Amino acid sequence: MPEADTLSPHDLDPDKLAEFDARVHREQNFLRGLAAGAGAALIGAAAWILVTVITKFQIGFMAVGVGLLTGLAIRRYGNGVDPIFGLMGGALSLLGCLFGNFFSYLEFISRARHVGVGTLLANLPPAGIVNVIKAGFKPMDVLFSGIAIYSGYKYAFRVIKSEELEAMRRP
């Protein structure tokens, strides 16, 4: 008898597979996944800001953490298998990275100008947001943001367990 992870599609009962597929799709929850992913991306961005401001150094691996945290939150609460869950994970991970970078830079600018971040943000025109991001941009940001997007995408999907596959085996 082959291991569950070596099963081929021919080893599965079509009726059990159809029933499992219907159940898995019913159990998906886009809004819970979105809420959890957005919350995780914000928590990751806050951690990014904290570490960057304390160390006065941008650590690229924080982006990987944002992607991983975001993807795993979507997986846990969204329970999704459709592509939209991965796309949501990648997009929210990128937003978390942008927020982390932006507010870290904003904190450094506010300290240099001796004004609060809130005051600086309130007086920042929309074009200023782009200028802040451009000013702090480094080519390595592309690499680490790409890894964050990949992590957010990859880890956002529900994992099908070997027991679930075994239960679909042909009699």
Taking the model in full, what pTM does it have?
0.88
Banded model confidence at residue 5, pLDDT cuts 50, 70, 90: low
- Residues 85-114, mean pLDDT to the nearest whole number: 94
pLDDT at 162: 85
Residue 67 confidence (pLDDT): 97
Distances (CA, A) of 30 to 20, 39, 81: 19, 14, 10
Q: Are residues 88 and 34 in contact, defined by beta-carbon separation less than 8 angstroms? A: yes
Is 153's pLDDT higher than 90?
Answer: yes
The chain-wide mean pLDDT, for the chain, equals 91
How far is Cα 118 from Cα 139, in angstroms, rounded to an integer?
28
Give the count of alpha carbons within 13 A of 134, CB side only: 5
- Which tokens is 73 given? 């939150």
